């Protein structure tokens, strides 16, 4: 267990925002997590992973919790349990090297295993929910462990119960995934090459990956837009017609545009980057202007995938 005071959070958020935490506490076991929750009960607390889906809007006057648990183990030939602090891509790399497949399309998504269950991360037609079997958690109030089935997590598009009715109540400690024997090397490499070609490299350019979620609209709205924009990409889903936010943003002329130190990424307009010592206000203002222009042109609301802290 490591506890530090007044520490910079620069290494703990991919946007590269140099906010400070009043207390930063890292644990190496579930028992140590219990100790920390007991020690700081009543304090403002936030559990973070790689910090790839959040934007610190200022210093955090409370306790930041982070896991140093980063191991994975096979429970049987098709089931692997990974601890919350293991980077998701590191897990996928290990599985691929061992000739296991099923998660390779999630390659290079920034973040740790715990966040995969909270955010239901996804890419290229695969979401974490497709491979998650169960999620182990610790109840912040009772300090007891609880296991959630896939159904109990109530997964949705970049969503889960851990972002709503269970928010702040449970900390994910490990995730159990279903995998299969198979060579995914080629697919993983193709995914990595595709992502690297259009997305900023984590650690080199500050960003949180995709900043906005893709919107879903009723069929009637989609039909109306297709009359005006017959080239508009769209996908029918049970949630409605999904329209890529990147296309909407690009049609509004935002690709490569800057505001202060923030910029809409020139290769992928779904991404906002810290191009030149951006402040949180720069990023928030740019995101707001992008959203407003999409609403004005298309009548569609797009919402940040990034959490403002």
Reported residue count of the chain is 309
Which of 158, 160, 188, 291 is catalytic? The answer is: 158
Per the DSSP assignment, residues forming a β-bridge with 48 are 66
Which of 26, 104, 112, 305 is catalytic? The answer is: 305
Place of tokens 């928010």: 167
210 carries an active-site annotation: yes
92: nearest Cα among 195, 223, 5 = 195
Find out whether 86 and 71 touch, Cβ atoms under 8 Å.
Answer: yes
Find out whether 305 and 212 touch, Cβ atoms under 8 Å.
Answer: yes
Which of 107, 207, 210, 291 is catalytic? The answer is: 210
134 carries an active-site annotation: no
188 carries an active-site annotation: no
- Nearest-angstrom CA–CA distance, 200 and 274: 10
- Nearest-angstrom CA–CA distance, 187 and 34: 40
CA 190 distance to own-chain centroid: 21
212: nearest Cα among 269, 267, 152 = 269
Find out whether 241 and 219 touch, Cβ atoms under 8 Å.
Answer: yes
Q: Which residues are catalytic?
A: 158, 210, 305
């Amino acid at each position: 267990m490591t506890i530090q005071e007044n520490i910079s959070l620069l290494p703990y958020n991919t946007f590269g925002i140099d906010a400070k935490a009043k207390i930063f506490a890292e644990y190496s076991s579930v028992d140590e997590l219990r100790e920390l929750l007991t020690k700081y009960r009543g304090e403002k607390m936030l559990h973070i992973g790689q910090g790839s889906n959040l934007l610190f809007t200022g210093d955090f006057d409370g306790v930041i919790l982070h896991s140093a648990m980063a191991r994975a183990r096979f429970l049987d030939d098709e089931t692997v349990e990974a601890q919350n602090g293991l980077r998701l891509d590191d897990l996928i790399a290990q599985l691929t090297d061992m000739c296991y497949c099923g998660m390779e399309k999630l390659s290079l998504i920034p973040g740790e295993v715990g966040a995969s269950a909270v955010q239901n991360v996804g890419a290229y037609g695969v979401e974490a929910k497709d491979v998650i079997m169960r999620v182990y958690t610790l109840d912040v109030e009772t300090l007891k462990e609880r296991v959630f089935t896939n159904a109990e997590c109530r997964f949705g598009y970049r969503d889960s119960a851990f972002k709503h009715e269970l928010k702040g109540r449970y900390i994910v400690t490990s995730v159990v995934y279903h995998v299969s024997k198979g060579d995914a090397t080629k697919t993983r490499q193709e995914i990595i090459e595709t992502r690297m070609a259009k997305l900023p490299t984590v650690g080199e350019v500050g960003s949180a990956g995709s900043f906005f979620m893709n919107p879903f609209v009723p069929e009637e709205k989609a039909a109306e837009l297709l009359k005006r924009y017959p080239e508009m990409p769209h996908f029918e889903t049970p949630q409605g017609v999904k329209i890529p936010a990147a296309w909407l943003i690009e049609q509004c002329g935002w690709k490569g545009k800057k505001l202060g130190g923030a910029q809409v990424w020139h290769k992928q307009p779904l991404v906002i980057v810290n191009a030149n010592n951006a402040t949180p206000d720069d990023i928030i203002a740019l995101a707001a202007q992008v959203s407003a222009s999409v609403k004005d042109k298309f009548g569609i609301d797009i919402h940040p995938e990034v959490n403002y802290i």
